[in-house]
Amino acid sequence: MINKIRTQLVQNAASILRSPVHFLPQVVQKKALLEGLKTVFKEALEDGDFEFLEGKWLKVEVKDLQVSWLISYDNEQIVIADKAVKEDVLFSSNLNDLVLIAGRKEDPDTLFFQRRLSIEGDTELGLEVKNLMDSVDLDSLPKPMQTLLNQLAEFVQKGLQSPTTHNEVINAYSN
């Protein structure tokens, strides 16, 4: 029963969250995203690892939520566009896949080749962004953020497993 509920929640997460996200003012979305990025990429920012993004724009699109953000780097700071600008590279995927990538439950390359992660535009810039994401040491994140990300990614991963596959795995270990 709990597995069915989890599966339903994971499969319907985007439709459940879409309206609340769209009602959230852009200024609040921008502030939350900016603070999250600063926390996650604290070391990379301190080391100047974002310089490759200076004067360029990364668009991150969560397709099933129908939201996107434009991110760049200027004056040693991450910036988020206030107005529409043309992106140099676009990363797009569905919410669950982005959660799995963030929680290191799925490899971005695997999702790319399965066409679940799309990278369009300047491929060299896209590769640098992907490498920067891969370089984040999750252990350096604040403990509550580590725990939340890990639990969320595990919840999504288990929710995406079909009940048959889950039962087959249980049966295989019981024999």
Tens digits of residue pLDDT in 3-37: 899 899 999 999 999 899 989 998 999 999 999 99
> Coil, strand or helix: which one is 62?
strand
Q: What is the pTM of this model?
A: 0.83
SS3 175: coil
Phi, psi (deg, nearest 5) at residue 54:
-65, 130
pLDDT 10s digits, 29-77: 999 999 999 999 999 999 999 999 999 999 999 999 999 999 999 999 9
* Pairing mode, strands 58-62 and 89-93: parallel
- Is the model's pLDDT at 154 over the cut of 70? yes
Residue ranges of domains in the chain, CATH in brackets? 1-161 (3.30.1050.10)
CA–CA dist 54, 56 (Å, integer): 5
